[in-house]
Amino acid sequence: MTDQIKQRHGCLTASLIFMIIVNSLTALIYLLGSEAIRQNILTVPAWAFPVLILLSIANLVCAIALFKWKKWGFFGFTGTAVVALAINLVSGINIIHGLMGLLGPVILYGVLQIGKEKKAWPQLE
């Protein structure tokens, strides 16, 4: 694909923009609202919030990497979902709700497969 211009499907573009917005907001919510969250969910350990902030920032970086055609962005996003699952389970979140967080990478992988000539997965470096 060195001499061909890369193109992404509109659904992927929308998904990446959504990921950038949501993860930016999530990092801010954890940063500014961690005390209120802890008061409502007493089982969340204090150390979890700095980790969740870092995971949100990592997801932001991964979404930008995918915009720049870097495959590691997908694997990074998957890794953060696994770490978030572990934090949720330690925090006493129901396992079914915790496992829902793993749907993100599955959906992202599906979106990367959309489109014939615009399919993003084979275009990632």
Split into its structural domains, the chain has a count of 1
Sign of the Cα torsion 48, 34, 93, 104 reads: negative
Q: Residue 3: what pLDDT? A: 54
Asked whether residue 71 is assigned to any structural domain, the reply reads yes
pLDDT beneath 50, residues of the chain: 1
Whether 4 is in a domain gets the answer no
Task: Look up residue 26 and give its two tokens.
Answer: 């999530």
What SS3 class is residue 124?
coil
C-alpha span between 10 and 3 (Å, rounded):
22
Q: Residue 1 has what pLDDT?
A: 46
Confirm whether 3 is domain-assigned: no
Boundaries of domain holding 99: 10-120
- Nearest alpha-carbon partner for 13 in 99, 81, 95, 114: 114
User: 74-105 in b/e burial notation, b at 16+ Cβ within 10 A?
Assistant: bebbbbbbeebbebbeeeebeeeebeebeebb
Q: State residue 36's pLDDT score.
A: 87
Tell me if 125 is assigned to some domain: no
pTM: 0.89
Q: For residue 1, tell me if it sits in a domain.
A: no
